[in-house]
Amino acid sequence: MSLRVGILAPISWRVPPRHYGPWERVVSLLTEGLVERGVDVTLFATADSITAATLESVAPRPLNEAPSLDAKVWESLHIANAFEHARDMRLDLLHNHYDFLPLAFSGLADVPLVTTIHGFSSEKIVPVFERYGDRGHYVAISDADRHPRLRYEATIHHGIRMDTFPLVRTAGDYLLFFGRIHPHKGAAEAIDVAARVGMPLVLAGIVQDREYFERSVEPRIDGDRVRYVGSVGPDERGAVLGGARALLHLISFEEPFGFSVIESMACGTPVIATRRGSMPELVQHGVNGALVEAPDDAVDAVETVGRLDRAAVRASVERRFDVSRMVDEYIEVYRRIVERGPTRGR
pLDDT greater than 80 at residue 131: yes
Average pLDDT, integer, range 137-154:
97
**CATH architecture group of domain 4-159+322-340:** 3-Layer(aba) Sandwich (3.40)
Please determine whether the domains at 4-159+322-340 and 162-318 fall in the same fold group of CATH: yes
Q: Which amino acid is at 72?
A: K
pLDDT digits (tens, 9 = 90+) for 283-312: 999 999 999 999 999 999 999 999 999 999
pLDDT greater than 80 at residue 70: yes
pLDDT digits (tens, 9 = 90+) for 318-337: 999 999 999 999 999 999 99
pLDDT digits (tens, 9 = 90+) for 38-66: 999 999 999 999 999 999 999 999 999 99
Q: Which CATH number fits domain 162-318: 3.40.605.10, 1.10.3720.10, 3.40.50.2000, 3.30.70.1060?
A: 3.40.50.2000
Looking at per-residue pLDDT, the higher value among 345 and 136 belongs to: 136
pLDDT greater than 50 at residue 345: no
Q: What angle, 0 to 180 degrees and rounded to 10, lies between the N-to-C axes of helices 310-318 and 259-266?
A: 130
User: pLDDT band for position 266 (50/70/90)?
Assistant: very high
pLDDT greater than 60 at residue 344: no
Q: Are 309 and 168 in contact (CB under 8 A)?
A: no
Burial of 4 (0-12, 13-18, 19+ CB in 10 A): middle
Report d(CA 91, CA 106) in Å as an integer. 14
Predicted pLDDT of residue 343: 55
Rounded (10°) CA dihedral 100, 106, 112, 116? -10
User: pLDDT band for position 1 (50/70/90)?
Assistant: low
pLDDT greater than 70 at residue 346: no
Looking at per-residue pLDDT, the higher value among 109 and 245 belongs to: 245
In the chain, where are the structural domains located? Answer: 4-159+322-340, 162-318
Among 197-201, 235-239, 262-266, whose mean pLDDT is lowest? 235-239
Average pLDDT, integer, range 257-265:
97
List the beta strands (DSSP E) in the chain.
4-8, 40-44, 54-56, 93-96, 113-117, 136-140, 154-155, 175-178, 201-204, 226-228, 246-249, 271-274, 289-292
pLDDT digits (tens, 9 = 90+) for 14-32: 999 998 999 999 999 999 9
Query: Three-state SS for 4?
Result: strand
List the beta strands (DSSP E) in 14-146.
40-44, 54-56, 93-96, 113-117, 136-140
Q: What angle do CA 317, 319, 321 make, to 5 degrees?
A: 60
Predicted pLDDT of residue 152: 97
Predicted pLDDT of residue 235: 87
SS3 for 112-176 is CEEEEECCCCCHHHHHHHHHCCCCEEEEECCHHHCCCCCCCCEECCCCECHHHCCCCCCCCCCEE
